[in-house]
Structure formats: structure tokens, C-alpha cells
Chains A and B, each alone.
Chain A
Amino acid sequence: MKTIEGLSFKRKMFFFGALFVLIHIAALPGISYSDTDVQEKLTIYVVNYPLKYFAERIAGDRAKVVFPAPSEGDPAYWMPDAETVAAYQKADLILLNGANYAKWVRKVSLPRSKMVDTSAKFKDRYITAEEVVTHSHGGEGAHAHESLAFTTWLDFDFAAKQAGVVMETLSRKKPAAEDFFKKNYAALEHDLLALDNEMKSIAAKNPLLPLFASHPVYDYLSRRYGLNMKSVHWEPDEFPSDAQWSELRAMLKKHPAKWMIWEKEPMKESTARLKAIGVNSLVFDPCGNIPDQGDFMSVIRRNGENLKPAFQ
């Protein structure tokens, strides 16, 4: 094999000339497809994990979906710092859950033109939370700080509607990829409606079954699937106080539930004491934040499996 050194001067000139032309052709705009694609990628910022999942499923590789909340804690009560707010401001799209989810949105400055409330279409069907303490001061009337239940995606029909809004918004932003988004959305909608049917069939087995929820976050789940559920305010990683146990015992008299639904795996001491008073524990993760394992679908399917023993 001949090396470059072994070529004649004319051939060397031809070789370098051809190399020069090739390099310049490759550098022409539009030739480097991968670069252009990267530039055209939408940057989407979201306020919770379900929206991240929906956006990623629908947009595929056409968008970079960012959910900057820390993995610990509930993103609904997170407060981003000024730098993170600046990152949200620079995004092409900001997907909001609506129903007063992520209170921080009302305390920061975001461009309205980029914000999309994914649940606005069914805002007339928002649920007003039961446990609200109103307060008043000065010459003003009584007012409440929190009044709307916000885990809308636990009604999987609503979840499909929210995903539909994501698809419509992406199609408006990138009309060229509309068919791609529609196809991905159809698959996601199919999965969400399958979950919806699965939940309906689980709940239908014993529609009057009394249940306890450790946290008032299952309002939409409860309404959609007709669950007979009462909520307390217990944390999975905290052993309930005596007052909380007394409250539960009082509730048990009117609402003889055999199962308590937890957001996360509760403390063993809590489950043992619950078991002692005849209440079993199961986990139904609302999946508001990125799960440690699996994705939204797998977590919700696991939730369904966890629910099954209660309804049998």
C-alpha cells in the first residue's frame, strides 16, 4: 500500500485538493443533518414526572424534556431557585399540570406565551379538596390557601386528555412532525386507556369496599373509579402520633376499612400497628416524581397489581 509520501507532487496536490473540497462540502449548512436536527430539538420544561413521561413518549427524539425538581420530595411543593427559573424562562415550552399544582408557578415570572396548562380543558371538573382550613384577617373575608386537588393524572382518562394537549401543542410548535407526534400519542393514549379499563375492572369487583388513604392525593382516582375512600394525613416515613391513631380509630367506627393506601412504602412499625387493628397496607404511588425504578406505566401497573388483593 502506497503512503502519501510515496505519491508524486501532482497526485499529492490532487489528494489535498480533493480533501479540502470534501471538508468544505461537509461543512455547508444543511449537509450535516445530525447538527441541524440537534438545533431543531424543542426544549420542554415540565412541572411533574407524568408530564415528562407524556412529553417524552409523544415527542420522542424531537425534544429534550427537562424536569429539574430534585428526586426527593413532592414536586408540587418544590420551589426552584432563580437559576432554575431562568432555565424555565428559556425553554420553548413549559408544560403545567394545572389545578394549582406546583404552587411555585404563581410565585415566579414565566413567559405566558410558552406556558401550557394541560388540564385547562377539564377545569370545570377539578375537585375541591375536602380538608381546607380557611382564615381571615384585617377587613378581608375568609380565604383558603389550598382548595383544589391536583393529582389529575390519577384519573387515567384525564391523563390521556393531558397527553392530548401535549400532542396538540407539540404539533403547533413543530407542524412538520405532526404525524409523528400523533402516532406516538395514539400509542400512549392506548396505554392510558388500557390502564383506565384495568382500574375500572379492579374497582368493579367490590365497589363499596371502604378504603383509607394515608394522604389526600387520591381524589381523582377515587372519583373516576368509584372508590369508597377516606383520607388521613400520614407520612410514610413518620410514625403517626397518638392523636393520629385516635383519629383513625374514630374514623374506623364509621368507615370500617380493611386497607390503607400509601404513597410510598410505609415504616414497618406503622404497618404492624395498622395490621394489629385489622388494617392492611398497600402502596399506590401517585408517581408525581421520577420513580427509582421503571417508568410511569410500570409504576401505575404495579399500583394496579397492589390494589387487586384489596378488592378480592
Chain B
Amino acid sequence: MIDSIYIAWQYIRFNKIKTATLIACITLISFLPLSLQLLLGESERQLMSRAVSTPLVIGDKGSSLDLVMNSLYFSDEVPELIGMEASERVMESGLALSIPVYARFHTRGNPIVGTTLDYFDFRRLKVAEGRNLAVLGDCLLGARVAENLGLKPGDSLLSSPETLFDLAGVYPLKMKVVGVLQKSHTSDDLAVFVDIKTTWVIQGLGHGHQDVTNLSDPTLILKRSESNVAATAKLYHHTEITKKNIDSFHFHGNTSVYPITAVIAVPYDDKSGTILRGRYLSRNETLQIIKPEEVIDGLLQNIFRIKNVLDAVISVVALATVLAIILVFALSLRLRQREIQTIFKLGCSRLTIARLVSAEIFIIVLTSGLLCGVMILVVNQISNGLVRMLFIR
């Protein structure tokens, strides 16, 4: 047997291109379905684990998928905004803990998630380095954000403008990095967390500026009356919140109608959850309450339906590849007629010929298997990030 393998090996070494092509074909055809299965399994795990751990999400009546993807995985697709009173309504119902989420803005390619401290308890997120959010302008980094951007507590981070050409828009806010969260292997690792009020400052609903009632520079005043002072656009706005200027920061109007993207509702028990869901069934209701598990389950059903189609395509391609390989071997045997005749003349049996060909096939399949195994291992290592890149963000 060793002799056969030796001769097959020498033959393979001589026909490098043919062998490499065969190995590539077999490797790819076995790698594709396996890697797809692996990635889909990982995506199912990631999507479902987070969806299952989030009991209810309340948001505007629109795409429930956008709402879930934005509030759970901080996807770029921002659902229609709702008012902060939606969060208060849940809290006042006494049926659930209400966690507002405002995932709309970005900083250096990472989502800024405005929420309350209850979010961290709910997701069991712990601060690995630094401290928790304390004052307006503080931000907490997800573990991967800190790694990727090379930031640590004490550094600062600038919010990105929503559009490149928004020249007359709100100034970016320089946020102070106060802590880094422990790795959670979820979307939280890729987010920058701030207090919900800080997102309103980023949006320009809250800001700090010079005291307009005590302005001495006449170019800053547009109009002054007993009850109103109108300042010009020249009025200096603070772009960073510090101990010195925090007193000047204020919010315009009623903060209870300020925008958020969703409310995560955590019912105190099953009965409370059912009652709460019932309160959003009215036709006149402008909000929807959804169970993320059901939405993600629907999404996965679609993904698996697509996967079945892909499996069928891959099966046909695999069959065609196997037939092509058989053809290659058959043609190669015909081309090697003189070589086989010589082996016969040397006194070898038909079995020896079969052993030689089998040894060749064995070496090719074994090499393909090893290559496929290595590639699957690599995919397995990066599947977490790959799934996030391909399916979630």
C-alpha cells in the first residue's frame, strides 16, 4: 500500500496544476455548505439569545424588524422616533421596568446608544475599567470599541454629524470616556453608551451657552425686551461639557416629549406582560409593542428558507463537480494508457492499477479535507464578527 501511495504521490507532484485544481474543487464544494451552516448557526444563536433576553420592545407603528434590529443590535436603520412619554407611560403603568433607547447617532463608525443606567443592570453589563456614567457628556465604551479605537478612560470622543453637508447643523459633542465595559460578545461590545440626555445634547435639544441675560457684546443680541432676549447665531455654544460650564447646559421645553427610538419594557411578571401588551392593541394606538423573539424567529425562518434554496444550488453544483472529477479521472486514465500498459508489462495486476488510482484519490481527498477543516476553523474563529458584519450590521 505504501508503494502505491509513494507512486501516486510522485504522480501528483508531477501533475501539480491538475491536482491543485481538483483539490480546490473538492475543498470549496465541501467548505461552502459547512461554513454556511456554521454562520447561520452562529447568527441564530446571536440573534435569538439577545431577542429572548429582551421581553418587549415598544416603538412607532412601522417596520417591527427595523425597530428590533435598531433597539437590540443598534443597526443603522433608524425607526420612526417616538416621545419619551412612551417610556414614562410604561413606568407609570406599574407593570414593567421601562428602559428608553435612543440609537440614532454615531461616533467614528460606532453607534451611540442613549439610555438610562437600568440598561446596564438589565443586560448585566459591568464596567471593566473606569467608572459608570455620572454626568452629562460622559460615555462608556463597549469592549470592542475601546480595542478598535485604542481608547481608555480619560480620553475623549467626538460625535459624528448626521450628514456631511449639515454645515448649519448642531456642533459635534466632545464626549468624555469615563469607562470601558466588560466584553459581553453581543452588540453592546460595539456600541458607545451615553445617558439619554446626552443624546439630546448631541441632537441640539439641550445645549450650553453664555448667559444671554448678561451679554455685553451688542453683536450677540438680536432683540431684547423685558421678557425675551433674542441672541444672534454668533452666540458661543459649548461643544464639550465640563465642570465649569455644566451649569449653563439646559434643555428646551418639555423633556417628556423628547425623541427616543424605542422603549425596552421588562414586565415584573408574565401577567403584567400580558396586560401591558393588551394596552397597545387599540386601533388608535400610535405605538406598537412587540416580542423581539417572535420578530427574530420570523427573520430566521426567512433566512433558513433562503438557506434551503442555497443548499439545493450547492447540491447541484456539488453533483456537477463530482461528475467533472470522475470525468477528469476517466480522461486521465485514458491519457495514461501507455503508462498503464508499461505497468502491466512489468507484471502488475489490474488491482495494482486500481490501488494506484485509489491512492491518488485518497491523497487529493485527504488534502481537500484538511484544507476545508482549516478554513472551517478560521471561519469558526471569526464567525462572531462575520455574522455581525453579514447579518446584523
- Chain A positions near chain B (C-beta within 8 angstroms): 79, 82, 85-86, 89, 106-113, 132-138, 140, 142-143, 145
Which residues of chain A are near B37, meaning CB under 8 Å? none
Taking the closest CB of chain B, its distance from the CB of A90, in whole angstroms, is: 10
Which residues of chain B are near A85, meaning CB under 8 Å? 134-135
Residue from B212, B213, B249 whose CB has the most chain A CB atoms within 10 Å: B212
Which residue of B136, B197, B212 is within 8 Å of A135 (Cβ)?
B212
Which residues of chain A are near B249, meaning CB under 8 Å? 107
Which residues of chain B are near A82, meaning CB under 8 Å? 131, 134-135
Which residue of A107, A111, A132 is within 8 Å of B197 (Cβ)?
A107
Taking the closest CB of chain A, its distance from the CB of B195, in whole angstroms, is: 4
* Cα-based distance from A79 to B91 in the complex (angstroms): 27
Taking the closest CB of chain B, its distance from the CB of A75, in whole angstroms, is: 15
Which residues of chain B are near A86, meaning CB under 8 Å? 131-132, 134
CB 8 Å contact bits of B200-234 with A (1 = contact, 0 = none): 00000000010011000000000000011111110
Chain B residues 138-182 with CB under 8 Å of chain A are 138
Q: Given A79-B247, A133-B213, A135-B213, A109–B229 Cβ distance below 8 Å?
A: no
Closest to A136 in B: B230
Tell me if B116 and A112 are in contact (CB < 8 A). Answer: yes
* Cα-based distance from A134 to B255 in the complex (angstroms): 17
Chain B interface, DSSP helix/strand/loop, else mixed: mixed
B: contact size bracket: 35 or more
Whether, in the assembled complex, B97 has its beta carbon less than 8 Å from a beta carbon of chain A, the answer is yes
Tell me if A109 and B231 are in contact (CB < 8 A). Answer: no
Q: Given A85-B134, A85-B135, A137-B233, A111–B228 Cβ distance below 8 Å?
A: no
Whether, in the assembled complex, B253 has its beta carbon less than 8 Å from a beta carbon of chain A, the answer is yes
Tell me if B133 and A133 are in contact (CB < 8 A). Answer: no
Taking the closest CB of chain A, its distance from the CB of B359, in whole angstroms, is: 70
Taking the closest CB of chain A, its distance from the CB of B278, in whole angstroms, is: 23
Q: Given A106-B251, A109-B117, A112-B98, A135–B229 Cβ distance below 8 Å?
A: yes
Which residues of chain B are near A89, meaning CB under 8 Å? 117, 132, 134
Q: List 10 A-B contacts (CB under 8 A).
A: A86-B132, A107-B246, A108-B136, A109-B117, A109-B132, A111-B117, A111-B118, A134-B229, A137-B232, A137-B235
Whether, in the assembled complex, B338 has its beta carbon less than 8 Å from a beta carbon of chain A, the answer is no
Closest to A145 in B: B250
* Cα-based distance from A86 to B255 in the complex (angstroms): 23
Taking the closest CB of chain B, its distance from the CB of A91, in whole angstroms, is: 12
Which residues of chain B are near A138, meaning CB under 8 Å? 233, 235
Taking the closest CB of chain B, its distance from the CB of A80, in whole angstroms, is: 9
* Cα-based distance from A137 to B170 in the complex (angstroms): 13
Tell me if B135 and A136 are in contact (CB < 8 A). Answer: no
Q: Given A134-B227, A137-B231, A107–B136 Cβ distance below 8 Å?
A: yes
Closest to B170 in A: A138
Count of inter-chain pairs, beta carbons less than 8 A = 83
Taking the closest CB of chain A, its distance from the CB of B103, in whole angstroms, is: 17
Tell me if B253 and A143 are in contact (CB < 8 A). Answer: yes
Q: Given A110-B117, A111-B117, A143-B252, A137–B132 Cβ distance below 8 Å?
A: no
Q: Given A89-B117, A113-B97, A140-B252, A106–B230 Cβ distance below 8 Å?
A: no
Taking the closest CB of chain A, its distance from the CB of B184, in whole angstroms, is: 19
Which residue of B121, B209, B227, B233 is within 8 Å of A111 (Cβ)?
B121
Tell me if A132 and B195 are in contact (CB < 8 A). Answer: no
Closest to A137 in B: B231
Which residues of chain A are near B212, meaning CB under 8 Å? 135, 137
Closest to A88 in B: B134
| Known A108-B195, A135-B212, A135-B230; further 16 A-B contacts with Cβ < 8 A | A79-B247, A86-B132, A89-B117, A89-B132, A106-B251, A107-B135, A107-B197, A108-B135, A109-B133, A109-B135, A112-B98, A112-B118, A137-B209, A137-B233, A137-B235, A140-B252
Taking the closest CB of chain B, its distance from the CB of A17, in whole angstroms, is: 46
* Cα-based distance from A153 to B236 in the complex (angstroms): 38
* Cα-based distance from A135 to B229 in the complex (angstroms): 4
Closest to B235 in A: A137
Which residue of A106, A132, A143 is within 8 Å of B255 (Cβ)?
A106
Which residues of chain A are near B233, meaning CB under 8 Å? 137-138
Which residues of chain B are near A133, meaning CB under 8 Å? 213, 227-229
Which residues of chain A are near B134, meaning CB under 8 Å? 82, 85-86, 89, 108-109
A-B complex: 6 closest residue pairs judged by Cβ atoms: A137-B231, A109-B133, A111-B117, A109-B195, A143-B252, A85-B134
Which residues of chain B are near A145, meaning CB under 8 Å? 250
* Cα-based distance from A145 to B252 in the complex (angstroms): 7
* Cα-based distance from A86 to B131 in the complex (angstroms): 9
Which residue of B87, B117, B195, B228 is within 8 Å of A142 (Cβ)?
B228
Closest to B193 in A: A109
Which residues of chain A are near B87, meaning CB under 8 Å? 112
Which residues of chain B are near A107, meaning CB under 8 Å? 135-136, 197, 246, 249
* Cα-based distance from A112 to B264 in the complex (angstroms): 13
* Cα-based distance from A286 to B381 in the complex (angstroms): 65
* Cα-based distance from A41 to B116 in the complex (angstroms): 25
Which residues of chain B are near A135, meaning CB under 8 Å? 212-213, 228-231
Chain B residues 311-342 with CB under 8 Å of chain A are none
Tell me if A79 and B246 are in contact (CB < 8 A). Answer: yes
* Cα-based distance from A307 to B131 in the complex (angstroms): 49
Taking the closest CB of chain B, its distance from the CB of A141, in whole angstroms, is: 8
Tell me if A106 and B228 are in contact (CB < 8 A). Answer: no
Which residues of chain B are near A109, meaning CB under 8 Å? 116-117, 132-135, 138, 195, 197
* Cα-based distance from A85 to B138 in the complex (angstroms): 13
Which residue of A108, A113, A134, A140 is within 8 Å of B228 (Cβ)?
A134
Taking the closest CB of chain A, its distance from the CB of B140, in whole angstroms, is: 10
Residue from B197, B246, B252 whose CB has the most chain A CB atoms within 10 Å: B252
* Cα-based distance from A100 to B249 in the complex (angstroms): 14
Q: Given A133-B227, A135-B231, A137-B212, A111–B116 Cβ distance below 8 Å?
A: yes
* Cα-based distance from A131 to B391 in the complex (angstroms): 56
